[in-house]
Amino acid sequence: MPHAAPAPYPTDLGPVGIDPPVPHPMLSEPAFERLHRMRRRFSWTLTAAMLAVYFGFILTLAFRPDLLALPLTPGQPMSIGIPVGFGMFAFTFALVAIYVHRSNTVYDRMIADICKGIQP
Report whether 72 contacts 85 (CB < 8 A).
Answer: no
Give Cα 5 distance to the centre of its chain. Answer: 46
For residue 101, give its domain range: 26-116
For 53-78, how does the pLDDT look when each residue is reduced to its tens digit (9 = 90+)?
999 999 999 999 999 999 988 888 89
Q: Flag whether 9 is in a domain.
A: no
DSSP-assigned states of every residue in 53-98: HHHHHHHHHHH-HHHHTSBSSTT-S-BTHHHHHHHHHHHHHHHHHH
Q: What pLDDT, on the 0 to 100 scale, is given for residue 22?
A: 73
- Cα separation, 88 vs 80, whole angstroms: 13
Q: Flag whether 64 is in a domain.
A: yes
Q: What pLDDT, on the 0 to 100 scale, is given for residue 87?
A: 96
Q: What pLDDT, on the 0 to 100 scale, is given for residue 57?
A: 95
Q: Flag whether 66 is in a domain.
A: yes
Listed as ranges, residues in the chain with pLDDT below 50 are none
Q: Flag whether 17 is in a domain.
A: no
Could you tell me which residues are beta bridge partners of residue 71? 79
Q: Flag whether 63 is in a domain.
A: yes
pTM for this prediction: 0.71
